[in-house]
Every structure is written in C-alpha cells, then in structure tokens.
Amino acid sequence: MNQVNQKAVNISAPNLVNICINGLEHGEIQGEVYHYYSEKPESFSSVVELIRTMEKLFDYLMFPQASTRIRSFWEKENEIYPRRKREDKQVSWEELLAHSGRIGTFITCVKFRQRSTWQGDFFWKEKEQKMFFSSALEFVRLLDQAVNQEQKKEKEEHGYEHE
C-alpha cells in the first residue's frame, strides 16, 4: 500500500512523525523517524532511542506542551528550547508519508504529554489500522505487538525467523 488514508491521519499536526521499522536485532526494533522539520531521517536502534528522538522533537517544537518538566542530575538550569514555526517545515506531508519501513510503518501523532507520559494515536500504514495509546508504555507495547505480528507472518510465509 502506497497511499495513506488522509482521514485517518491528521496531516496538519506539526508533530506528526512517520516511524519506519526496518528490522529487529537482539529483540530491539531498528529503523528511522521522519518528521516535517528535516529532509533526512533520524535513525534509531532501540525503543529507548525512538522515545528519546521523539521527545527531543516535541521539546524542540514545544508541542505538545509537556505538563511536567523532566528532571535530571545533569540538566542545565532554565534550558530553553527554541520554538519552531510551522513555516520552518522542510518537507511536505506527501513526502513525509511516502516513506515505508521493511517491517512496518507507523504514522504517529502524540496529542498530549500529560502525567509525564504520552497520549495519542498512530496509523499502521500496511494494515490501514488506527490505534490509540494513553501512555508511552502502551505506545511501545502496541508497536511491539505489531512488529511481532509481522515477524510471525514472515516466518510462516518464508519458513524462517529473523533475529
């Protein structure tokens, strides 16, 4: 499937993220993250890297606004992230949504960052299925289930398993 159901995806969301999962290594998903503000993808090799990449983008955009401030032993006092303007978009929504992962493609919109976690939805491009999550943990669990479902399908079709 090359097209995305535009009714299922909020293409006007400034923090829209296209997560392309290309592989699994030692149980960790690997792939690339595409967003409006860069022509080049950001690679990740674990769920933790994926979450950090997305959180960094949201902080950069200051959208969705976090309801709590992250604390750290190494945090600089009063660190301010520059706000991006919608005019700063580097790619169109067609370019953003054109990318696909080998294992799966998840067009994600985090709508809120409340109670120190995420709430939002993602559209599983290959299955044309929309899923909702009310926490970052649920987001990870849904991604993991989708990837495992695709791996199981691939194993049944080809008689082998990727690791």
Give the tens place of pLDDT for each residue, 8-43: 888 999 999 999 999 999 989 999 999 999 999 999
Question: Pick the residue with more confidence: 36 or 87?
Answer: 36
Q: How many domains does the chain have?
A: 1
Side-chain-side CA neighbours of 20 within 13 Å: the count stands at 16
pLDDT tens digit sequence for 93-107: 999 999 999 999 999
- Amino acid letter at 141? R
Note the pTM of the prediction, 2 decimals: 0.83
Look up the domain containing 59 and give its range: 17-71+78-158
Q: Residue 6: inside a domain, yes or no?
A: no
Q: Residue 11: inside a domain, yes or no?
A: no
